[in-house]
Amino acid sequence: MKVGKSFPPAEDLSRKVQDLEQLIESARNQIQGLQENVRKLPKLPNLSPLAIKHLWIRTALFEKVLDKIVHYLVENSSKYYEKEALLMDPVDGPILASLLGK
């Protein structure tokens, strides 16, 4: 979300992920309400909090923007990371970004 303020592809991705999170929550609520009335309905797969937390990565892969976002993060790493971070490394950061683009 922070990157989305200055990088449009990240802003679009953030919006899509928020929409997906709302759909997941809405579906959970609807199915739970139905299950209280009819016990034979299938249960909604339980998505762990970690799966929800990393939903943006999966969405970025499907939307084919993960490499662009990581490349942007490498180029602007001083805004987002501490000096010990992988993306701050002048060699490893660009290598990671280029590997994602292939």
- In DSSP notation, the chain reads -TGGGT-HHHHHHHHHHHHHHHHHHHHHHHHHHHHHH-TTSPPPP---HHHHHTHHHHHHHHHT-HHHHHHHHHHTHHHHS-TTSGGGSTTHHHHHHHHHT-
The pLDDT value given to residue 14:
95
Predicted model pTM: 0.75
Residues of the chain with pLDDT under 70: 32-46, 102
Name residue, tokens 């249960």: 43
The pLDDT value given to residue 51:
85
In single-letter form, the type of residue at position 53 comes to K
The pLDDT value given to residue 9:
95
The pLDDT value given to residue 10:
96
